[in-house]
Chain A
Amino acid sequence: ETGVTQTPRHLVMGMTNKKSLKCEQHLGHNAMYWYKQSAKKPLELMFVYNFKEQTENNSVPSRFSPECPNSSHLFLHLHTLQPEDSALYLCASAPSQILSGELFFGEGSRLTVL
């Protein structure tokens, strides 16, 4: 069992659909993150949660709505997305206090918006 698990691994949705991505970590970490990786672009931080509280929103459009019910689970709710939102969405976790900046990533959810 991997430390950070993401479901679904692949998702195809229309622009009017509502769907959610799920992330679960089994590492006992208190911080969780959503990153986006678009084709030929660097990974971009979207949201940060620390002890279930959102501490960063990196100017993400409101059609992306995160939810963190507890320190082990993180969701990304998606609605009325655009084709340019098609990307690999990566969840990561980390202990709250970590000096080196190391993150533990899940395998990602590949999203295609038609």
Chain B
Amino acid sequence: DQQVKQNSPSLSVQEGRISILNCDYTNSMFDYFLWYKKYPAEGPTFLISISSIKDKNEDGRFTVFLNKSAKHLSLHIVPSQPGDSAVYFCAARYYGGSQGNLIFGKGTKLSVKP
């Protein structure tokens, strides 16, 4: 059973508007959550992370929100730009685990239309 779920395989947003990508998880032992972005024919690149002791982390146009009681996190992109069109992966790490042992979601393909 998947421990990290991205239930929306795709999302389409108009340029300048807000993009909200969602992620749900089942394991309370996750201590870090990360978002990666992947363009076609490229490897995933790290975008932003949040510790489980925080509920918000912001970096420029990107903000990640964590709701531990709901086991839910979301990535907000404001304003969305055509260059943001990519597949976004949510990932989670076990408390005390190897930094490489990330559990990934299946990804959400974001399309930002001009």
Q: Hey, which bits of chain A sit against chain B, CB under 8 A? A: 4, 6, 31, 33, 40-45, 48, 50, 55-56, 90, 92, 94, 97-108
In the complex with contacts A92-B100, A107-B42, A102-B106 CB distance below 8 A: no
Residues of B in contact, count (CB < 8 Å): 26
Contact code string B39-68 (vs A, CB < 8 Å = 1, else 0): 001111110010100000000000000000
Say yes or no: A94-B99 contact (C-beta < 8 A), given A42-B2, A108-B43: yes
CB pair B43–A56 under 8 Å, yes or no, is: no
Taking the closest CB of chain B, its distance from the CB of A2, in whole angstroms, is 8
B100 touches A4 (CB 8 A): no
Q: A104-B46, A105-B43, A105-B44 are in contact. Are A56 and B100 (CB under 8 A)?
A: yes
- In the assembled complex, the Cα of A4 lies from the Cα of B93 at a distance in Å of 22
Chain B residues with CB under 8 Å of A43's CB are 44, 89, 91, 102, 104
| A97 CB contacts on chain B under 8 angstroms | 99
Number of residue pairs spanning A and B whose beta carbons lie under 8 angstroms apart: 72
CA distance A57 to B103 in the complex (A): 15
Contacts from B to A (Cβ < 8 Å): 2, 4, 32, 34, 36, 41-46, 49, 51, 89, 91, 93, 98-107
Bound-state Cα–Cα, A42 to B87, Å: 12
Point out the residues of chain A lying under 8 angstroms from B43, CB to CB.
Answer: 4, 6, 90, 92, 105-108
